[in-house]
Structure 1
Amino acid sequence: MSSGNHQESGLSKSVWSDTDFEEMGWHDTTIHGLYVQQTDDIPPRLLLDLDYIVRWVHPVRPAKSFSFWVSPATLVFEDVWALEGELGFKDTSPELEIDDVHRLVPDDGRQDLPQWHIQGHAFDLKFRASGFRQYFRHVPRLTATQVLSNAERGGCCFTEIGFS
């Protein structure tokens, strides 16, 4: 596991997990790709290709807009089951932007498989999973937008290696 960090952005390591959940926040994070991986070798997994906002930077006068430290990341949920969701792009662009991620205590008492809820601006995903890892694939960039260009992020990718 890579132990890369980036002091300028405040990122202390390049691989995070569900044990870091309380320190993380996905508000306004863009999802570029979603992959449900199911093979005979491993339990089902849900992989998301993200532009994760590591830190929001308050504007310094005369600037009026926030800037952002953003890194392309792969978010991987393990042992996924009971996956359900909705997409609703009727009046909006087809971007998947996260509003919040919730870890819920399931009604059946199975603490080993919590329920996860990824609430988006035009979508909603709910599923059970044992946990997650998030791999920051590149050093964060300071940018005026919350989304990196395709060239800056290296295209859509599900690599599970953090930068070093």
Structure 2
Amino acid sequence: MSDGSHEESGLSKSTWSDGDFEAMGWHDATIHGLSVQPTGDILPRLLFDLDYIVRWVHPVPPATHFSFWISPATLVFQDVFDLEGDLDFTGVGLDLEVDKVHRLVPDDARSNFSHCPLWLIEGHAFELRFRASGFRQYLRQAPRLVSRQALPYAERGGCAFTEIGFS
């Protein structure tokens, strides 16, 4: 498993990038932390600590609920600008769960930033929009098969922004 693959879950590698975007999905991924990190350059990085659902497992009767292969992950967007968003925590829960991540072609005429797509992260109680040149996602631990869509805080190693995939 030195390449970060995990045969049981179907995972082929532990580090992904925007080149893999079409093969990835963040539906119901739980965000545990967010950080805007200065880089010393002009544009900062945007980091997410999340539980990435590697694979949904259909229930086998008599079971009636899905189970999930989940790995704690660090998602890092590079060269971030025009960051804006909304949070709506009216009601009971304070969970940040992703619904969908979109990579869009911006409709502005900033020719010097034409290489930076518009990213839209839609959540169940939030929305973030920003421009970024791309991303890398690091699965920090081998996926675990669990019955819920998020790992217990202690089992995932708390909140972290480590940029190394497991091996």
Could you state the TM-score of these two structures normalised by the residue count of structure 1? 0.96
> What letter is aligned with 1:163?
F
Q: How far does the alpha carbon of each residue in 1:35-89 deviate from its partner, in whole angstroms, 9 at most, with x for none?
A: 0001425730000000000000000011000000000000000000000001000
User: Pairwise mapping of residues 75-94 of structure 1 onto structure 2 (< 5 A)?
Assistant: 75-94=75-94
Task: Give the unaligned 5+ runs of structure 2.
Answer: none
Within a 5 Å distance, the mapping from 1:1-164 to structure 2 comes to: 3-41=3-41, 43-108=43-108, 110-164=113-167
For residues 43 and 85 of structure 2, the distance between their equivalents in structure 1, rounded to whole angstroms, comes to 20
Give the letter aligned to residue 106 of structure 2.
P
Q: Give the C-alpha shift of residue 16 in structure 1.
A: 0.2
TM-score, normalised relative to structure 2:
0.94
Question: Which whole-Å CA distance do the structure 1 matches of 2:18 and 2:56 have between them?
Answer: 22
Q: Which amino acid aligns with 1:160?
A: E
Note if contact 1:72-1:137 (Cα within 8 Å) is conserved in structure 2: yes
Query: Which 4+ runs in 1 deviate beyond 2 A?
Result: 39-43, 108-111
CA RMSD of aligned residues (A): 1.3
Conservation of the 8 A alpha-carbon contact between 2:39 and 2:45: no
* Aligned residues of 2:85 and 2:127 also touching (Cα < 8 A): yes
Identity between Structure 1 and Structure 2 (%): 70
* Structure-2 separation of matches of 1:150 and 1:36: 22
Q: Distance in 1 between matches of 2:41 and 2:130?
A: 21
Aligned residues: 163
SS of corresponding position for 1:33: strand
